[in-house]
Structure 1
Amino acid sequence: MNFELMAPCHFGIETVLKREIYDLGYEIKKVEDGHVFYEADEDGIVVSNLCLRTAERVLIVTGRFCAKTYEEFFQGMKNIPWEKYLPSDAAFWVTKATSVKSRLYSTTDLQRVGKRAMVARMQGIYHMDRFPETGSDYPVRIFIYKDQVTVTIDTSGDALHKRGYRKETGKAPISETIAAALIMLTPWKADRILADPFCGSGTIPIEAALIAANIAPGLYRHFAAEGWTNLIDKKLWTDERKWLREAVDTDVDTRIYGSDIDPDMIRIANENARRAGVKKLISFKRLEAGDFRMKDPYGFIITNPPYGERLSEKDELPELYSKLFEAYRRLDKWSLFVITAWEDATRCLGGKPSKNRKIYNGMLKTYFYQYMGPKPPKVTSDGKN
């Protein structure tokens, strides 16, 4: 069976997610703010959950309709062929409803009416007054924009940024999906040096190591759709995981560094890297950002420094960012990539960046400043530059 799938992501990284989906071999239908729509079969649901690094979830689109009243919403929900997706013992509920610029805006009412409509439809199909809901979970997510309703079932369960390796974090951790997107927005490859002098709990270096070692981000976690045997053969999950494990290469020759001034963060980063299976690929060290040094050329700094969320920290930011820039200037032919919500950051980072991209971390608008260094010379077949 073919499905229309919707992959939500953080605003600003749609192009990265689109490229990921395209590289997996699936046809992109359309791209909207924070969403990529594409078509795939059952195997595509499995592969998407296991392999997408920048998506937040993988959702099956079950229906679309216009609703300006709760009666129209009820009828639209009831008209969806839920029997195609939900067995009679399914545990189903509207886990989340979002509404923007629409007449229907009460999320609790949308959840309540949505569930009631689903029950009404299934009662007529299965000829049951009550449903045991003892089977697998089928969480429903509803999106309404300008009275246009999109109804989906969540195949992922826990959000895809929950890889399973990050048990402890720092004060303002960057999400795994954003960290992966930042890396994928740069020209970095496993044979180039990558350093994060504000590594915190290690998310950016760990995501880089997962990419370098070809470790699928969802390889070691569970998904809601694994219990959907009415739609997806369990063998698809088993086979895909087997192939992905065989593709892992933790002996890859790569140089990834993480440093932080806080020794507790270095301890946490090492533990997170160990759980992710990439500890031997990353060197973590306690170090002030301004003290970072390396002789080798053509490396990358990709980092998420403090933004000054607390008023008391704002005064420290100019010195902090200036030290980062001075450390960067000492490096030979390196590139610098900084994500921050501090709008005056470029004054301390050497002026106008080569590129600047807005990325929304939840409701927080951040800027991904990109200072591009020169490309390394090409190596010819005889090993000469």
Structure 2
Amino acid sequence: MTYSATCLLGVEGLLAQELRDMGCEDVHAENGRVLFSGGWDILARANICSRFAERVGIQMGDFQAKSFEELFQGVKALPWEELISREDAFPVSGSSLNSQLHSVPDCQAIIKKAVVERLKKSYRQDWFTEDGPAHRIRFRIMKDQVSVVLDTSGAGLHKRGYRPASNAAPIKETLAAALVKLSRLRSDATFYDPFCGSGTLLIEAATMAQNIAPGIGRRFQAEVWEQTPAGVWERERDRAKSMERRDTGFTATGYDIDPEAVELTRENAKRAGVNVTARVQDIKDFERSTEYGCVVCNPPYGQRLMDQKTAQDIYRQIGRIFMPKRGWSYGVITPDEDFEDLFGRRADKRRKLYNGMIRCQFYQYYKTT
């Protein structure tokens, strides 16, 4: 089968390589998604093990539609009966961008009607109770190109299960994992986040360093489908657990000026099953007491928690603190286009990413000269 894994913009390359490393075939990255193929085991593996995907769906079809009739016929031509049973629920949701078919509610209604007509013919019945397991149909129309998938994840894959509550302005788990990966974190590294908030960067770093599958503690929508082969999800969970490495020597330390944030970090780390140290400390007291260190942080900025001037003062401060040192690297994500001037040095590398709907840059410093 062909699958579609959606992701944050800017993360496509990381996700594509991750899927290849999992054993996925025909991996092809596009804007906001990566297509790949494999059996039901690969579907379960991608859901359980992907750190960067937002959702994984079964790719039902891609076609062009500039009219409701073209949309109806395109959807009706797809083999829905292969994956939707007589009693299954099949709600429809989606989006449209830069397309002639711009009304999302109208597109939802047309797609629903087309699927019903296909299933009527296949099952020779006129009414569907839809009281069985949900097979959510998700569509995306971009520049008149329609993509239709069956969502297999249920809740978004960024919901690992360790963060039932968070402080204000948390960073998304999938983006945090991407920042850690871009920092080339070693499994025996010493990792720091001096603005730890609810601990997301620390926890994602710890699970990555120890190869703990991000979805190992949660459930997925496709697990309850009658079309799913028996035992496939259990086997993939066992496979993921067998690949964990708990004795890597990795350590993670976080600081925050908010005592409640520090306590939240500790609680979330405990739920995630990883060892993380967190304490109340101002960024001005940050010290590089170890020989090696990897710092990744999401400092507060004007659009999130404070006024712009205070945020800029923080950038100047960390520029004085995060000085080049052999064995140390620093990564900072921010939307402030003046960050490098305020920090005091040009980044050795930077990458455009999105934190929610906010366009950001990830600035990396690792050179000593």
Which bin holds the TM-score, normalised by the shorter protein?
over 0.9
Counterpart pick for 1:262 among 258, 266, 270: 258
Partner of 2:58: 60
Does residue 1:283 correspond to 2:280, yes or no? no
**Secondary structure class of the residue paired with 1:321:** helix
**Secondary structure class of the residue paired with 2:148:** strand
**Structure 1 range deviating more: 242-251 or 161-170:** 242-251
**Secondary structure class of the residue paired with 1:238:** helix
* 1:77 to partner: Cα distance: 1.1
Counterpart pick for 2:229 among 229, 233, 250: 233
Does residue 1:36 correspond to 2:30, yes or no? no
Contact 1:198 1:304 (8 Å CA) reproduced: yes
Contact 2:254 2:279 (8 Å CA) reproduced: yes
Does residue 1:144 correspond to 2:138, yes or no? no
Question: What is the rounded CA distance, in whole Å, between the counterparts of 1:269 and 1:362 in structure 2?
Answer: 21
* 1:374 to partner: Cα distance: 5.3
Question: What is the rounded CA distance, in whole Å, between the counterparts of 2:23 and 2:288 in structure 1?
Answer: 39
Contact 1:301 1:336 (8 Å CA) reproduced: yes
Partner of 1:123: 120
Question: C-alpha deviations, 1:305-346, integer Å up to 9, x for none?
Answer: 012116951110222112222222286641110001112111
* 1:40 to partner: Cα distance: 1.3
* 1:114 to partner: Cα distance: 0.8
Contact 1:226 1:234 (8 Å CA) reproduced: no
Question: What is the rounded CA distance, in whole Å, between the counterparts of 1:78 and 1:262 in structure 2?
Answer: 55
Contact 2:5 2:34 (8 Å CA) reproduced: yes
Partner letter of residue 74 of structure 2? G
* 1:296 to partner: Cα distance: 1.6
Partner of 1:180: 177
Question: What is the rounded CA distance, in whole Å, between the counterparts of 1:81 and 1:310 in structure 2?
Answer: 45
- Structure 1 unmatched ranges of 5 or more: 376-385
1:201 to 1:66, Cα distance in 2 relative to 1, 3 A: same
- Structure 2 unmatched ranges of 5 or more: none
Partner letter of residue 137 of structure 1? A
TM-score by length of 1: 0.92
* 1:18 to partner: Cα distance: 0.9
Does residue 1:4 correspond to 2:10, yes or no? no
Contact 2:176 2:204 (8 Å CA) reproduced: yes
Question: What is the rounded CA distance, in whole Å, between the counterparts of 1:152 and 1:174 in structure 2?
Answer: 27
1:353-372 correspondence to structure 2 within 5 Å: 353-372=347-366
Contact 1:215 1:248 (8 Å CA) reproduced: yes
1:298-377 correspondence to structure 2 within 5 Å: 298-309=292-303, 313-329=307-323, 333-373=327-367
Question: What is the rounded CA distance, in whole Å, between the counterparts of 2:323 and 2:142 in structure 1?
Answer: 47
Question: What is the rounded CA distance, in whole Å, between the counterparts of 1:53 and 1:330 in structure 2?
Answer: 30
**Secondary structure class of the residue paired with 1:137:** coil
* 1:145 to partner: Cα distance: 1.5
1:300 to 1:310, Cα distance in 2 relative to 1, 3 A: closer
Question: What is the rounded CA distance, in whole Å, between the counterparts of 1:221 and 1:277 in structure 2?
Answer: 13
* 1:137 to partner: Cα distance: 0.9
TM-score by length of 2: 0.96
* 1:350 to partner: Cα distance: 2.8
Question: What is the rounded CA distance, in whole Å, between the counterparts of 1:293 and 1:28 in structure 2?
Answer: 46
Does residue 1:220 correspond to 2:217, yes or no? yes
Partner of 1:381: none
Partner of 1:379: none
Question: What is the rounded CA distance, in whole Å, between the counterparts of 1:30 and 1:250 in structure 2?
Answer: 33
Partner letter of residue 37 of structure 2? E
Partner of 1:244: 240
Question: What is the rounded CA distance, in whole Å, between the counterparts of 1:265 and 1:311 in structure 2?
Answer: 14
1:184-195 correspondence to structure 2 within 5 Å: 184-195=181-192
Partner letter of residue 266 of structure 1? V
Give the share of equivalent positions with the same residue, in percent. 41
Does residue 1:49 correspond to 2:43, yes or no? no
CA RMSD of aligned residues (A): 1.7
Contact 2:138 2:148 (8 Å CA) reproduced: yes
Partner of 1:19: 17
Question: What is the rounded CA distance, in whole Å, between the counterparts of 1:48 and 1:189 in structure 2?
Answer: 23
Contact 2:210 2:248 (8 Å CA) reproduced: yes
**Structure 1 range deviating more: 171-180 or 324-333:** 324-333
Contact 2:198 2:261 (8 Å CA) reproduced: yes
* 1:101 to partner: Cα distance: 1.4
Partner letter of residue 314 of structure 2? L
* 1:236 to partner: Cα distance: 0.7
* 1:255 to partner: Cα distance: 1.5
Question: C-alpha deviations, 1:156-199, integer Å up to 9, x for none?
Answer: 01100000100121211100000001111112112121100011
